Amino acid sequence: MYIRSRNESIEQLSQSLNPEQLRKAITQRYSALSLSVIADFKKEYADKLIDSRFSAETINKLTRAYYDEKINSEDLFIAVKYSGGENEKYIDDFLDSIDKGFYHGTAAKTFLAVLFEDCNYKEAAEYVKSGAFYPTEYGSLSLEKDVAVELDKMGVPLRACEGFNNNYDVDDLNEALEKYAAIFVRDKNLAVKVCEYMKLPDWSNFRSQVELAMGTEIACLSGDMLSGLRDKYLHENRCIALSQKVNDEYGKFIADMKKEPADVIIESAYEIVSKDNIATYCQECNVELSEKQFSALMSSKNTLDEVYREWCDNGEWHGIDDIGLALEETADRIQISLDRKISEQKAEPVPEQKQAVKPKNKSR
């Protein structure tokens, strides 16, 4: 692209701009490159750049990005559309995001959307990158169709907008989507979390649990609340898995014990009662362990035996509530053992490979 001198650009612009526009072009701090780029456009587009409420500094940055082919002409005019609002302060974030791999066309529409969305540019870009939203032609962030469908199934209230300002509550999502309406939700973070969780294999079951837990209060559901419900759901599933494992081990223990003679069974009374208490505790109580501790217990070949051994080694535990402490101590002990094995495996020296001895050349 040929870059004219400042005077050459002013001369060309004087043939298309009105006196007020020309005065602005001359008196404001537009760079020579900006004026040359503006002069390259037809009058209707040159007018948009000169009439923009962006400062000359911002226009200089945009035209430089255009000249460097960071953005194209469509991006340029999307960026200056409805200019002069809250998005100008994010001009550097907008251009930097493109340098970091954010697609220029999506970035330009996201920059425009910040004018009407209650978030800054970086937040808006993250919403789009999450896959939950896309920037529309009308300066907004709309839910992606699949995310909107899942929220609608949950009973979360949605809003729609056709064009620029035809807003309404969504009663029939399919009808709104058929009209190419943008779809909105009160809490954007909720949509981000739904987008994340809906990709997981247990999403349908978790969604049902959320609907059951929230009931008629589903409209109040937020992203933070959904995260909390997810943590609770996963914890309950870990408790169930641990309970099933321990109960299976207890069932096998009792089946084997029944094969023993009466005197052995009598001598094993304490072990039978203790293991029964452990199995009952896992089944009926909320086991307060971390994910890592649950994982450690589940890794054991026989968790029940491990916990019973820990129980017997501690002479201060007597009541049913102490079983929780036994589970915790057992989990930590197993984890230490697992960590030690991993450390030893990493520390094992790699055996040196002997170099093949080359045969000596035979003398002729």
Q: How confident is the model at residue 359 (pLDDT cuts 50, 70, 90)?
A: low
Q: Select from 219, 247, 276 the last residue of a domain.
A: 219
Q: How far is CA 284 from CA 16, 219, 281, 302, 320, in A?
A: 82, 32, 5, 20, 11
Mean pLDDT within 271-293: 94
Residue 254 exposure: Cα atoms within 13 Å on the Cβ side: 11
Asked, for residue 23, whether it belongs to a domain, the answer is no
Q: Which two tokens stand for residue 278?
A: 């452990």
Q: Which amino acid is at 300?
A: S
Determine contact, residues 38/80, Cβ cutoff 8 Å: no
- Does the pLDDT at position 352 exceed 70? no
pTM (two decimals): 0.82
- Does the pLDDT at position 139 exceed 50? yes
Q: Are residues 193 and 275 in the same domain?
A: no
- Greater model confidence, 12 or 343: 12
pLDDT for 64-113, tens place per residue? 999 999 999 999 999 998 766 679 999 999 999 999 999 999 999 999 99
- Does the pLDDT at position 364 exceed 60? no
Burial of 130 (0-12, 13-18, 19+ CB in 10 A): middle
Asked, for residue 111, whether it belongs to a domain, the answer is no
Q: Which of 140, 141, 158 shows the shortest CA–CA distance to 149?
A: 158
Asked, for residue 232, whether it belongs to a domain, the answer is yes
Q: What is the pLDDT of residue 76?
A: 96
Q: What is the pLDDT of residue 354?
A: 56
- Greater model confidence, 83 or 355: 83
Q: How confident is the model at residue 358 (pLDDT cuts 50, 70, 90)?
A: low
Q: What is the pLDDT of residue 348?
A: 63
Q: Are residues 165 and 239 in the same domain?
A: no
134: Cβ–Cβ under 8 A, 6 or more apart, which residues? 106, 128, 141, 142, 144
- Does the pLDDT at position 347 exceed 90? no
- Does the pLDDT at position 141 exceed 50? yes
Q: Are residues 239 and 185 in the same domain?
A: no
The per-residue pLDDT of the chain, averaged, comes to 92
Q: Select from 160, 191, 219 the last residue of a domain.
A: 219
Q: Which amino acid is at 215?
A: G
- Greater model confidence, 362 or 229: 229
pLDDT for 182-210, tens place per residue? 999 999 999 999 999 999 999 999 999 99
Helix (H, G, I), strand (E, B) or coil at 182: strand
Phi, psi dihedrals of residue 168, rounded to the nearest 5°: -165, 160
Q: What is the pLDDT of residue 351?
A: 61
Q: What is the pLDDT of residue 363?
A: 44
Burial of 81 (0-12, 13-18, 19+ CB in 10 A): middle
Q: Are residues 158 and 198 in the same domain?
A: yes
Q: Which domain holds residue 252?
A: 223-342
Q: Are residues 232 and 337 in the same domain?
A: yes
Alpha-carbon distance 254 to 259, whole Å? 9
Bridge partner list, 134: 142
- State the DSSP code for 260: S
Phi, psi dihedrals of residue 54, rounded to the nearest 5°: -70, 150
- Does the pLDDT at position 362 exceed 50? no
Q: Are residues 227 and 327 in the same domain?
A: yes
Q: Are residues 242 and 303 in the same domain?
A: yes
Q: What is the pLDDT of residue 196?
A: 97
Mean pLDDT within 50-76: 95
Q: Which two tokens stand for residue 56?
A: 């000359």
Total number of domains constituting the chain: 2
Q: Which of 57, 59, 55, 32 shows the shortest CA–CA distance to 45?
A: 59
